[in-house]
Amino acid sequence: MGQRALITGITGQDGSYLAELLLAKGYEVHGAVRRVALEDPEHRLLRLSAVRDRVVLHAASLESFASVYQLVAKVLPDECYHLAAQSFVSYSFDDEFSTLNTNINGTHFLLSAVKDLAPKCRFYFAGSSEMFGKAEQIPQTEKTPFHPRSSYGISKVCGFELTRNYREAYGMHASNGILFNHESPRRGFEFVTRKITSGVARILAGKSKELSLGNLDAQRDWGHAREYVQAMWLMLQQPQPDDYVVATGETHSVREFVDLAFSCAGLDYRDYVVTDPNLFRPAEVNLLLGDCTKAQTQLGWTAGTGFDALVREMVEADCRTLGVTGQVGASFARP
């Protein structure tokens, strides 16, 4: 048996792609999940369906140091990928306290347990471009100052600094990925890309008449999640731990995403999209654009999937699920 990896957040988009990648590389893969996930496998373990029999799942709570400690003691991983978090930025405005508690404590508990029990374990922290927030530089690099605009962003800055501090203070092989937005057909429905692509499919299937969205002018650097987990793995294969921006180097507005997704299905978004002021955030991150030169030169990583291909794949997948494939993909041109 090869190396042993522990993934927190294994049931999510990134966790499921990472589990598949590590299994293909011969790792023994362990995942931390909430107890409710084990009680409702049909829904909560859906993204793991291709690998469910080949991963070892452990019920654990990242809100309890005792639980995290027992988990690390049981698995004694060679590599630990900490992906679990309250990751929906919008929700962090509704419940700042639980976002900060869960995200900061979860990271701190895990780092501390790994330091004590598996000090040679290589550690990955899922940092985020939300840390740049009201960014002072375009594009953003590893040297761009952080100016988070939500408690989610603040919690990620704290996780980033904890990870760096465990590296510097205790000599741990602990690295931060600063991942820009990454999407796929496995994305949660609450995030704007999946909300749009599933909305297109529902409209085509006659299940919805319109789609409510918030700020269409926000700009994001959107890549494909399947490729971003490769960057996580590469970081832990380096002789020295470090921090890396992972991005495509292209930015597009939410409006461009909507336009392309509807065009892909032969529809004009202006006939279906309504703007709801309630979906605007109290503080917005207006423009994210990553410069991943360091990841390119040091890890040999680059994004392969372009914006058009990503949008098309997501629309097609959602349409397939609702049985409306015939109408999709003929043309990206507006009718």
Q: List the one residue out of 59, 84, 25 whose CA is nearest residue 4.
A: 25
Token pair 């292209």 is at which residue?
250
129 binds ligand G4F (CB under 6 A): yes
Complex with ligand G4F: residue 215 or 325, whichever CB lies closer: 215
Which one of 32-40, 62-70, 266-274, 280-288 is the stretch in contact with ligand G4F (CB under 6 A)?
A: 280-288
Helix (H, G, I), strand (E, B) or coil at 282: coil
Residue 87 Cβ vs ligand G4F, minimum distance, rounded to whole Å: 4
180 binds ligand G4F (CB under 6 A): yes
Helix (H, G, I), strand (E, B) or coil at 209: coil
* Binds ligand G4F by CB under 6 A, chosen from 65, 91, 191, 332: 191
Mask for 130-149, x = binds ligand G4F (CB under 6 A)? x-------------------
Contact between residue 166 and residue 174 where contact means Cβ atoms under 8 Å apart: yes
CA–CA dist 236, 275 (Å, integer): 43
CA–CA dist 173, 68 (Å, integer): 19
152 carries an active-site annotation: yes
Helix (H, G, I), strand (E, B) or coil at 81: strand
For residue 195, the Cα-to-chain-centroid distance in whole angstroms is 15
208 binds ligand G4F (CB under 6 A): no
Tokens of 31: 């995942």
225 binds ligand G4F (CB under 6 A): no
251 binds ligand G4F (CB under 6 A): no
Q: Which residues of 266-275 are buried (b: 16+ CB within 10 A; e: fewer)?
A: bbebeebbee
130 carries an active-site annotation: yes
CA–CA dist 274, 243 (Å, integer): 40
220 binds ligand G4F (CB under 6 A): yes
Helix (H, G, I), strand (E, B) or coil at 32: strand
Burial of 42 (0-12, 13-18, 19+ CB in 10 A): exposed
Complex with ligand G4F: residue 37 or 285, whichever CB lies closer: 285
Residue 108 Cβ vs ligand G4F, minimum distance, rounded to whole Å: 19
CA–CA dist 30, 33 (Å, integer): 10
Token pair 């990472």 is at which residue?
18
Complex with ligand G4F: residue 114 or 211, whichever CB lies closer: 211
Complex with ligand G4F: residue 180 or 301, whichever CB lies closer: 180
245 binds ligand G4F (CB under 6 A): no
* Binds ligand G4F by CB under 6 A, chosen from 8, 87, 248, 305: 87
192 binds ligand G4F (CB under 6 A): yes
* Binds ligand G4F by CB under 6 A, chosen from 140, 176, 181, 184: 181
Q: How many residues does the chain have?
A: 335
Complex with ligand G4F: residue 23 or 218, whichever CB lies closer: 218
- In sequence order, the β-bridge partners of residue 124 are 81, 175
* Binds ligand G4F by CB under 6 A, chosen from 7, 234, 236, 254: 254
79 binds ligand G4F (CB under 6 A): no
Q: Give me the catalytic one of 20, 28, 79, 130.
A: 130
For 282, other C-beta atoms within 10 Å of its C-beta total: 8
Q: Give me the catalytic one of 87, 92, 128, 184.
A: 128
By CB under 6 A, name the binding residues for ligand G4F: 87, 89-90, 128-130, 180-181, 190-193, 195, 213-215, 218, 220, 254, 279, 281, 284, 288
Catalytic positions are 128, 130, 152
